[in-house]
A and B are shown apart, each in its own frame.
Chain A
Amino acid sequence: MSSPAGTEAGPAVPSAAGKRPTAVRREGRAGGGYPRYVAGKLAGAVVSLFAVLVTSFFLFRLIPGDPVKFMTGGRQVSAEQLATYRAEFGLDLPMWQQFTDYCAKALTGDLGTSYQFHAPVVDKITEALPNTLLLTGTAFVLYTALGMFLGTRSAWRHGGLGDRLHTGLALTLYSIPSFWLGLLLIVVLSVGVDPIPGLFPTGGMESGREEGLAQVLDVAHHLVLPVVTLVAVEYGQTLLVTRSALLDEMGSDYLVTARAKGLRDDLVRRRHAVPNALLPTVTLVFVNLGRTVAGVILVETVFSWPGLGGLFYQALSVPDLPLVQGLFFVFAAAVILMNTLADLLYPMLDPRVGR
């Protein structure tokens, strides 16, 4: 049986079993051809997105605090003025009407106006999204490549010293809180501990002084530590899953045959075992990408990165309801989209599924 660790949204525990999403198999078997499979998956995604929209609306109504009173900052305001503000943000309407308004607007791509920034939520999100994508995207490419590379090597020489070292290191790094690792990196590589000089900036995305190529380099310089932190805590999972997928594959008959034919080990590995074993890992890769967008909150906080995570935290403390709702929707939508993409890609990559 297979664990859905691969499709899990939360901090998945590296599990050898987490390589094939159950959903794909189940529906793949029952399905009638790829188009129908795709339609089913897309419909499921739309339903999930709607469910998230509903949740994000009602969940955040639970947060104590009157946004209007916060907006006026405790200044002297009359009841009429407060009522005017409430009307302006539609907070005086009955709950169901606020909800239908919210849904209707969301369909047209309008997620409301942020209380604290006086700007459309969509604008605030599109401002911060590229920064988050830059950070997560870079880290994602690196930890996926690193995890797959080391995972393959480990599996091939499993039981050896290198394997035990890599697996042990991956598990250890996986158990380290990312924010703590980030703080340590700042202390050692940014502030500098004698004799190590502080090579990297302590936080932020750019120094705000450079232009042109210098600005690109400046951003890259600021990117190093947060990316290293993310890669360190994330690559372990890819490594372990790749490794166990490959170990599974290596017991297969055709590999024994291939070796019996006298093919070199290295060739067998590269031509046959690796490609087959990596297919299931691909789903994990996509799911990870969706998850990383939400999981980046900590790293963004530690490194003052101007992304969605920091915005979410600021919005939550107000509470800036429209902004919190919008961000929550984006986080959940990222997971849903990536899961769906993985579901759609899986049968294309692995013909055993979805026929």
Chain B
Amino acid sequence: MSTHHQHRRGRTAPRPWRARLLAALGACALLLASGTVAPSASAEDGDGDGSGGDKVLTVAVAQSVDSLSPFLAVRLVSTSIHRLTYEYLTNYDAEDNHVIPGLATEWKSSPDKLTWTYTIRSDSRWSDGERATAEDAAWTFNTMMTDPGAATANGSFVGNFAKVTAPSPTQLVIRLKKPQATMTALDVPIVPKHVWEKVDDFSEFNNDKDFPVVGNGPFVLTDYKPDSYVRLKANKDFWRGAPKFDELVFRYYKDQDAAVAALRKGEVSFVAGSPSLTPAQADSLKGEENMRVNDAPGRRFYALATNPGARAKDGTKFGNGDPSLLDRRVRNALFKAVDRRAIVDKVFQGHAVEGAGYIPPRFSSYFFEPSAGQELAYDPQQAAELLDEAGYRTGADGKRLGKDGKPLDYRVLCHATDPNDKAVGKYLQEWWGELGISVTLDCLDNVTDPWLAGEYDLAFDGWSVNPDPDFVLSIHTCDALPATPKDTGATDNFICDKEYDALYARQLAEYDAGKRAGIVKQLESRLYDTGYMNVMAYPNAVEAYRTDQIESITTMPSAAGNIYGQDGYWSWWSAVPADSGDSSGGSSSTGTVIGIAAGVVVLAGLVVLFAVRRRATADDRE
């Protein structure tokens, strides 16, 4: 063996080595060449877009799809795709969010509110040609009621269902155990029974193997590559009318900045932002040609929640919130030392509205502003006085001492993935540092655990508010507390206040919209005074799209609303392709020319290199 190898080494080894090197360099050349050829390929398609070929709308998303099964998916990107591919019983109007027909054309409830009858439309067809009927809807709900695997995502909607039947193809009857408020807002995708009844295990079926996926929404799911893209084709037979674009592609970008760069180049038509574009991105895009930045009043509030002493309904206390925060004066003093104006100006750079009441001003009828006397205006001096008054005085080293004699040091729970949390956290450290209070920023990828365990002092908090604010109000009632420390309650941050609960019950029973809005404002006023939820700002929904690719698109609400993450399929269904494919085609063909030129130069360089090497070899042979 030894001699054999020595022989090989001495005689033949050099040649294969040389050949391998050449092959590798060849591969390198090929790679570079393909890199420069590819733009021409896509540019051809781009030209095709302009001249009546397939019109493709590409949307950059930052979330990866968790599942394409409507029974499992909970992430926004996945539920948005389900909105586009399956009809729900009802939908929401793009103008003002009121409930409008979806798969059901009309609905009525029995006088005791326990039986709901839906009329199912007869003009909706599955993409494989079968008619969508009440039987499909009944099967979908029944599956969720009987199979725990199918109840993973939307089980909460059917928890109160007694029986679901389909007496005829156009009639769906749901019997309830007790009245339920969400019966016209059942956000459950209805799936085709004839396809889905073959599924064995709903907890592991992800609906991502057989394409196209049979659906009846405005788009049909035709292709999916994990962490890469989701591709949908327009459903030309959609009962509400065909979408204007022929194809819709959701492309995944891990990094928002890469997505913005892609938008700038025209690789994508729309960037959603997660949850919105940064001020720097928005400002730099605003100056661009063919670019529209949609800076819509947001439906979110951005707040600082304090831990009021976590507890369960059975009275058990848990968690380890700082006892000093149980004093309202301390909470108010902390918030008085927070300059909301500076947060809006510096952190959001104007892409937000200064915080006041709990519900964002976008929902004007419920928007609450504290009165002059009530307002916890920015006043560090007063904040220091309040703290002194509450008995938290500064020690020798300028640090405020707690009742146990130790310096106050608050843990602030922040989301490691949210730059705003980290930025505001830095301000808090300095503002509260002036008061003599230390702040430890506890930035985690996943805050769920300490949050649910009540192991924090303060936390960055935020919710998207629905047109009907019932849900975001309900999460601060005593009723939302977990039953025992082992359960997970609906509560946001363990607030339990008798006065608040009384007002909450009153607004729930009030049917007059104006009067109800009045009570809701009182509710917000109470919440403001307690100092448990301190709203710092209402961030705008900042998104951008290319006007040379999208001519128009519906926002929701249509006046000044957002595009991505709507409660409906309006944006993508309504988007109109821009006619002038020329502008983008022009720039990309310039790119192609230069790209090819660069490729030629590189190839020429390689050829020269090889030629020189060859000649050297030839010299040797002589």
Q: Which residue of chain A has its CB nearest to the CB of B3?
A: A351
Task: Give Cα A72 to B74, complex, Å.
Answer: 10
Query: Is B93 located at the chain interface by the 8 A CB criterion?
Result: no
Given contacts A119-B206, A267-B620, A317-B445, contact A145 B24 (CB under 8 A): yes
CB distance from A76 to the nearest CB of B (A): 4
Q: For A76, list chain B residues within 8 Å (CB).
A: 156, 480, 488-490
Stretch at the interface among A23-31, A103-111, A168-176, A213-221: A213-221
Counting chain A CB atoms within 10 Å of each CB, which of B45, B247, B448 scores highest? B448
Q: For B148, list chain A residues within 8 Å (CB).
A: 84
Q: Are A199 and B452 in contact (CB under 8 A)?
A: no
Q: For A271, list chain B residues within 8 Å (CB).
A: 10, 14
Query: Is B423 located at the chain interface by the 8 A CB criterion?
Result: no
Q: For A279, list chain B residues within 8 Å (CB).
A: 9
Q: Are B5 and A128 in contact (CB under 8 A)?
A: no
Task: Give Cα A206 to B253, complex, Å.
Answer: 11
| Partner of B34 from A34, A119, A221 at Cβ < 8 Å | A221
Stretch at the interface among B114-122, B224-232, B326-334: B224-232
Task: Give Cα A190 to B449, complex, Å.
Answer: 40
Q: Which residue of chain A has its CB nearest to the CB of B224?
A: A208
Query: Is B262 located at the chain interface by the 8 A CB criterion?
Result: yes
Given contacts A82-B486, A118-B206, A199-B595, contact A266 B265 (CB under 8 A): no
Stretch at the interface among A8-16, A286-294, A308-316: A308-316
A198-229 contact mask (Cβ, 8 Å, vs B): 1 or 0: 11111111111110001011101101100100
Q: Are A203 and B255 in contact (CB under 8 A)?
A: yes
Query: Is B58 located at the chain interface by the 8 A CB criterion?
Result: yes
CB distance from A209 to the nearest CB of B (A): 6
Given contacts A78-B487, A317-B445, contact A208 B231 (CB under 8 A): yes
Query: Is B42 located at the chain interface by the 8 A CB criterion?
Result: yes
Task: Give Cα A224 to B598, complex, Å.
Answer: 14
| Partner of B31 from A69, A77, A88, A224 at Cβ < 8 Å | A224
Given contacts A141-B27, A204-B251, A210-B41, contact A306 B225 (CB under 8 A): yes
Interface size grouping (class) on chain A: 35 or more
Interface size grouping (class) on chain B: 35 or more
Task: Give Cα A120 to B67, complex, Å.
Answer: 12
Given contacts A74-B448, A141-B24, A210-B41, contact A79 B486 (CB under 8 A): yes
Q: Are B14 and A202 in contact (CB under 8 A)?
A: no
Given contacts A142-B24, A204-B252, A306-B225, contact A199 B591 (CB under 8 A): yes
Q: Are A310 and B206 in contact (CB under 8 A)?
A: no
Task: Give Cα A355 to B101, complex, Å.
Answer: 82
Q: Are A202 and B267 in contact (CB under 8 A)?
A: yes
Q: Are B17 and A117 in contact (CB under 8 A)?
A: no
A66-77 contact mask (Cβ, 8 Å, vs B): 1 or 0: 100110111111
Q: Are A208 and B226 in contact (CB under 8 A)?
A: no
CB distance from B411 to the nearest CB of A (A): 14
Q: Are A73 and B74 in contact (CB under 8 A)?
A: yes
Counting chain A CB atoms within 10 Å of each CB, which of B14, B20, B616 scores highest? B14
Task: Give Cα A218 to B6, complex, Å.
Answer: 46
CB distance from A348 to the nearest CB of B (A): 7
| Partner of B41 from A34, A218, A266 at Cβ < 8 Å | A218
Query: Is B64 located at the chain interface by the 8 A CB criterion?
Result: yes
CB distance from A227 to the nearest CB of B (A): 7
CB distance from A139 to the nearest CB of B (A): 10
Q: Are A65 and B449 in contact (CB under 8 A)?
A: yes
Task: Give Cα A66 to B590, complex, Å.
Answer: 53
Q: Are A118 and B14 in contact (CB under 8 A)?
A: no
Query: Is A48 located at the chain interface by the 8 A CB criterion?
Result: no
Task: Give Cα A8 to B292, complex, Å.
Answer: 51
CB distance from A123 to the nearest CB of B (A): 9
Given contacts A197-B594, A351-B6, contact A224 B448 (CB under 8 A): no
Q: Are B34 and A197 in contact (CB under 8 A)?
A: no
Q: Are A117 and B206 in contact (CB under 8 A)?
A: yes
Q: For B41, list chain A residues within 8 Å (CB).
A: 210, 214, 217-218
Q: Are A220 and B38 in contact (CB under 8 A)?
A: yes
Q: Are B264 and A191 in contact (CB under 8 A)?
A: yes
Task: Give Cα A64 to B447, complex, Å.
Answer: 10
| Partner of A201 from B5, B18, B262, B484 at Cβ < 8 Å | B262
B1-31 contact mask (Cβ, 8 Å, vs A): 1 or 0: 1100110011001100110110011011001
Q: Are A220 and B204 in contact (CB under 8 A)?
A: no
Q: Are B452 and A348 in contact (CB under 8 A)?
A: no
Given contacts A208-B229, A210-B45, A218-B41, contact A274 B620 (CB under 8 A): no
Query: Is B66 located at the chain interface by the 8 A CB criterion?
Result: yes
B60-80 contact mask (Cβ, 8 Å, vs A): 1 or 0: 000010110100101000000
Q: Are A199 and B223 in contact (CB under 8 A)?
A: no
Q: For B487, list chain A residues within 8 Å (CB).
A: 77-79, 82
Query: Is B583 located at the chain interface by the 8 A CB criterion?
Result: no
Q: Are A118 and B452 in contact (CB under 8 A)?
A: no
CB distance from B55 to the nearest CB of A (A): 11
| Partner of B265 from A72, A145, A146, A190 at Cβ < 8 Å | A190
Query: Is B483 located at the chain interface by the 8 A CB criterion?
Result: yes
Q: Are A220 and B488 in contact (CB under 8 A)?
A: no
Query: Is B37 located at the chain interface by the 8 A CB criterion?
Result: yes
A175-198 contact mask (Cβ, 8 Å, vs B): 1 or 0: 000000000001000111000011
Query: Is A321 located at the chain interface by the 8 A CB criterion?
Result: no
Query: Is A22 located at the chain interface by the 8 A CB criterion?
Result: no
Task: Give Cα A192 to B227, complex, Å.
Answer: 25
Q: For A205, list chain B residues within 8 Å (CB).
A: 225, 228
Q: Which residue of chain A has its CB nearest to the CB of B71?
A: A118
Q: For B13, list chain A residues within 8 Å (CB).
A: 275
Q: Which residue of chain A has its CB nearest to the CB of B490?
A: A76
Task: Give Cα A128 to B225, complex, Å.
Answer: 10
Q: For B24, list chain A residues within 8 Å (CB).
A: 141-142, 144-145
CB distance from A61 to the nearest CB of B (A): 14
A330-355 contact mask (Cβ, 8 Å, vs B): 1 or 0: 00000000000000000011110001
- Give 7 A-B contacts (CB < 8 Å), ordered by A residue: A69-B488, A70-B446, A118-B206, A214-B45, A223-B35, A270-B14, A349-B5
A residues at B contact (CB < 8 Å): 34, 64-66, 69-70, 72-79, 82, 84, 88, 113, 116-120, 124, 127-128, 138, 141-142, 144-146, 148-149, 186, 190-192, 197-210, 214, 216-218, 220-221, 223-224, 227, 264, 266-267, 270-272, 274-276, 278-279, 301-304, 306, 310-311, 314, 316-319, 348-351, 355
Contacts A34-B1, A207-B251, A304-B252 aside, 16 further interface pairs with beta carbons under 8 A come to A66-B449, A74-B452, A113-B204, A191-B261, A198-B265, A201-B265, A202-B261, A208-B231, A217-B38, A267-B620, A275-B17, A304-B254, A304-B258, A306-B252, A318-B446, A351-B2
Q: Which 10 residue pairs across A and B have the least CB separation, nearest first?
A: A221-B38, A208-B229, A145-B24, A306-B227, A220-B34, A317-B445, A76-B490, A224-B35, A203-B258, A275-B13
B residues at A contact (CB < 8 Å): 1-2, 5-6, 9-10, 13-14, 17-18, 20-21, 24-25, 27-28, 31-32, 34-39, 41-42, 45, 56, 58, 64, 66-67, 69, 72, 74, 148, 152, 156, 203-204, 206, 223, 225-231, 247, 249, 251-255, 258-259, 261-262, 264-265, 267, 417, 445-446, 448-449, 451-452, 480, 483-484, 486-490, 590-591, 594-595, 598, 616, 620
